[in-house]
Amino acid sequence: MEPILVRQCRFALDPVEGVLRDVDIYLEGGQITCLGECSGKSGTIIDADHMVCMPALYNTHTHAAMALFRGFHDDAILEEWLQRVWRAEKRLTPGVIHEASRLAIMEMLSSGTAGFVDMYFYPEETAKAAEELGIRALVGPVMLENMTSIDKWAEETVRLAKGLEKLKLVKPIVNVHSLYAAPIEAVEKGLEIAGEIGVRLQMHAAETRREVYAVKQRYGKFPVEALRDAGLLSQRVHLVHMGWATSWEYQAVAKAGATIAHCPVSNMKLATAGFLPLHDLQEKGVTVGLGTDGAASNNVLDMFREMKAAVLLQRHSYWDTRVKALHVLRAATLGGAEIMGVRAGRLKPGYEADLVLLDASRLHLQPLRPDNLVSALVYAATGGDVVYTIVAGRAAYSPEKAEKFTEEAARIAERLNGFFEGEV
């Protein structure tokens, strides 16, 4: 892999140390090896005098292949929407998952995302698509009690993890859908496997009031409380949503070192409401990442838009400005990198070369200065401003690839539309 020299970047943002101007960035062997004056270095040159460079974003919860369901009965109430999606999901095939995953991954790369945490059917197909396109991913089969048994799912998880061993960018994760769609014994078994292979266990938790009631009925406890009391809350657990948890459950999450994926757009669009106390959680030292959830409930996988929505939802819910642009930028970069298990999220030598270059000359970003750069990236930029997404030192998205992605997306869209014939 040829090194990359990003030359004379107009602004370079590190989420901890701040903004630098007119710097070179040298990427070699998949890492950032020079930042500042890097003359005399050879490799592929990117002239960046009209660009902003920042660490890439990580989508800490999605169902990538649900790109298939973008715009599918969008405005139905949650229960009806779920019934329709579940009916259609029975007809999914590995081929459809592979195509839909490629579509989702191209969208993620073109909007500055270098990695995602997935939960969906036929994960080996999503893994294949991720490796082909050069994006980081965590994948694993989903434990759903009406579709599989704990033993069968556990066996599939271990088998998939073995199959992924030789891949560089795609790693396993243990996926239990939720405590309302899987028994608590699945979490117990899942954590055993997660410990053996050294990965996290992802599950939806405290997403809706209905879920909280269902879990309370089944176990006599709230979801996170039930996990804690069963000794199943640890730093290996990655909880998704968490808008309907109690204060003592958030305490338990902080104490255990579990991580959280906050999905503000999905929560608002599915009208599930709830409040994630983002500021309190970050103050307590909890690692929070942002997630788009699937394209069926968002409808885009654009993490720039997700950052803005995250701040807006906090302000709308709490009537104050405690959550700043920088807090969500750190969640989307540093927080995401930690959840994905990658030493990234910083623009600093020694860190993985996962970077985004945006076009700093776009009209909606003017006037741009070091003091308003973070605000511009969170409140004004969208994924459409991304020019390059570099993953592990390789340009996985670039102006040359943009054209190829557009052509392939059109071909895939035609085939995916065929899936719905007679359905809608």
- Give the whole-angstrom CA distance, residue 123 versus residue 159: 12
Taking the complex as a whole, the smallest distance from the CB of residue 293 to Zn ion amounts, in Å, to: 5
* Tokens representing residue 248 in the block: 């003592």
Per CB under 5 A, the segment of 73-81, 230-238, 287-295, 321-329 that binds Zn ion is 287-295
Q: Contacts with Zn ion in 48-67 (CB under 5 A)?
A: none
If the CB atoms of residues 206 and 378 are measured against Zn ion, the closer one turns out to be: 206
If the CB atoms of residues 293 and 302 are measured against Zn ion, the closer one turns out to be: 293
* Tokens representing residue 388 in the block: 């390059």
- Give the whole-angstrom CA distance, residue 62 versus residue 108: 11
If the CB atoms of residues 181 and 360 are measured against Zn ion, the closer one turns out to be: 181
- 352 near Zn ion, judged by CB under 5 A: no
Taking the complex as a whole, the smallest distance from the CB of residue 264 to Zn ion amounts, in Å, to: 13
Taking the complex as a whole, the smallest distance from the CB of residue 17 to Zn ion amounts, in Å, to: 34
Cβ-count burial 331-358 (b if 16+ within 10 Å, e if not): bbbbbbbbbbebebbbbeeebbbbbbbb
Per CB under 5 A, the segment of 246-254, 291-299, 314-322, 396-404 that binds Zn ion is 291-299
Closest residue to bound Zn ion by CB: 293
If the CB atoms of residues 119 and 133 are measured against Zn ion, the closer one turns out to be: 119
Taking the complex as a whole, the smallest distance from the CB of residue 63 to Zn ion amounts, in Å, to: 6
If the CB atoms of residues 244 and 405 are measured against Zn ion, the closer one turns out to be: 244
Taking the complex as a whole, the smallest distance from the CB of residue 61 to Zn ion amounts, in Å, to: 6
Per CB under 5 A, the segment of 88-96, 211-219, 292-300, 336-344 that binds Zn ion is 292-300
- Give the whole-angstrom CA distance, residue 228 versus residue 246: 13
- Count CA atoms within 13 Å of residue 339 on its CB side: 36
If the CB atoms of residues 6 and 139 are measured against Zn ion, the closer one turns out to be: 139
- Give the whole-angstrom CA distance, residue 289 versus residue 381: 19
Per CB under 5 A, the segment of 68-76, 125-133, 285-293, 394-402 that binds Zn ion is 285-293
Taking the complex as a whole, the smallest distance from the CB of residue 244 to Zn ion amounts, in Å, to: 15
Residue of 151, 154, 101 whose CA lies nearest to 125? 101
If the CB atoms of residues 110 and 267 are measured against Zn ion, the closer one turns out to be: 267
- The distance of Cα 215 from the centroid of its chain, to the nearest Å, equals 26
Taking the complex as a whole, the smallest distance from the CB of residue 269 to Zn ion amounts, in Å, to: 12
Per CB under 5 A, the segment of 216-224, 278-286, 289-297, 311-319 that binds Zn ion is 289-297
Q: How far apart are the first and last CA of the chain?
A: 46
Please report the DSSP string for 241-287 in residue order. Answer: E-TT--HHHHHHHHHHT-EEEE-HHHHHHTT------HHHHHHTT--
Q: In this structure, what DSSP letter does residue 56 have?
A: P
If the CB atoms of residues 28 and 293 are measured against Zn ion, the closer one turns out to be: 293
Sequence-distant (≥ 6) Cβ neighbours of residue 252 within 8 angstroms: 224, 225, 228, 233
If the CB atoms of residues 202 and 389 are measured against Zn ion, the closer one turns out to be: 202
Taking the complex as a whole, the smallest distance from the CB of residue 240 to Zn ion amounts, in Å, to: 6
- Give the whole-angstrom CA distance, residue 97 versus residue 122: 7
Q: Residue 59 — φ and ψ, nearest 5°?
A: -95, 105
Residue of 291, 208, 196 whose CA lies nearest to 236? 196
Omega before residue 367 within 30° of 0, cis: yes
The two beta strands, 355-359 and 386-391, are antiparallel
Per CB under 5 A, the segment of 156-164, 185-193, 286-294, 315-323 that binds Zn ion is 286-294
Taking the complex as a whole, the smallest distance from the CB of residue 98 to Zn ion amounts, in Å, to: 20
Size of the site for Zn ion (CB under 5 A): 1
- 293 near Zn ion, judged by CB under 5 A: yes
- 302 near Zn ion, judged by CB under 5 A: no
Q: Is residue 291 a contact partner of residue 61, using CB atoms and an 8 Å limit?
A: yes
If the CB atoms of residues 19 and 296 are measured against Zn ion, the closer one turns out to be: 296
Binding footprint of Zn ion on the chain (CB under 5 A): 293
